[in-house]
A and B are shown apart, each in its own frame.
Chain A
C-alpha cells in the first residue's frame, strides 16, 4: 500500500519569495508521483509528475519538484511566488501511473501575501 504525507497544512509566503511545499511518500514499489493544484470550488489540475528517468521534474507555472528516493520525498518548489499561486496543492502517489488509483496527501494551502 502507498501513502503520502504533506507537512504543513498551510504555508504563507511573500510575493516573490521561494515556495517550498513538502511531500513524503511511502510505497512498496517504485512510485509514480504527482502534484496537483486546486483553486476554490474547482477540480484538480496537474502541475507535474514523476514517472521514471530524470529526478528533477519541471511543470507548469514555473513549478518543479525533485524525486529523492533516499529521502522518500517529492517536494514542490517555485523560485518566486506570485499572487496567482494561492491555492490548495495536493501531492499524490500511484503505483502504476495515473491509470491506477491515486492516493492523495491531505493538501497544503498556499497563501501569498504582498
Chain B
C-alpha cells in the first residue's frame, strides 16, 4: 500500500514551453502533497506544499508564477513549469502525506530536460 506515482517519468521540452507533471496517490487520499526538486548529485529541496482545495505554500525563493501547483483532488496534484528554460532542467519528486500514518510517501520522480 501507500503508492505514489508520477507522470511522466521523463520529459524533454523546448525552451519557452510549459510542461505539466502529475503526482497521484494511488491507494490513499492525501490532503497534503509536497514538491521537491533535486539537482544532480545534490539533495532534495522542498519547493512547495500543496493542500487540496487551497493555494499551495511556496518556499522562499521559489517563483509562484513559474511553478504552478494545483491540488484539485485528494489523489492528484500537478506541477506546471511555465515558460521553461534550460536552468529548470532537474529531477522533480513529489510526496504525498498519508493521514492514517502521517507518513510522506514519495513518487518515483520526473526528469525534466529543457532544450
Do these two chains interact?
yes
Chain A interfacial positions (CB closer than 8 Å to B): 9, 36, 41-46, 90, 97-99, 101-107
- Shortest Cβ gap from A104 to chain B (Å): 4
- CB–CB B107/A104 < 8 A: no
Tell me what chain B mostly uses at the interface: helix, strand, loop, or mixed.
strand
Cα–Cα distance between A108 and B90 once the two chains are bound (Å): 19
20 contacts between A and B (CB under 8 A): A36-B106, A41-B108, A41-B111, A43-B4, A43-B6, A43-B93, A43-B95, A43-B107, A43-B109, A44-B93, A44-B95, A90-B43, A90-B44, A98-B103, A98-B104, A101-B49, A101-B59, A102-B104, A104-B43, A107-B43
Which residues from B are CB-within-8-Å of A99?
32, 97, 102
- Shortest Cβ gap from B8 to chain A (Å): 13
Within 8 A of A (CB), among B70-96: 93, 95
Chain B interfacial positions (CB closer than 8 Å to A): 4, 6, 9, 32, 34, 41-46, 49, 59, 93, 95, 97, 102-104, 106-109, 111
Cα–Cα distance between A107 and B46 once the two chains are bound (Å): 15
- CB–CB A43/B108 < 8 A: yes
Q: Which residue of B lies closest to A96 (CB)?
A: B102
- Shortest Cβ gap from A100 to chain B (Å): 9
- CB–CB B42/A43 < 8 A: no
- Shortest Cβ gap from A29 to chain B (Å): 18
Best-surrounded residue of A41, A90, A97, A105 (most CB of chain B within 10 A) = A41
- Shortest Cβ gap from B79 to chain A (Å): 14
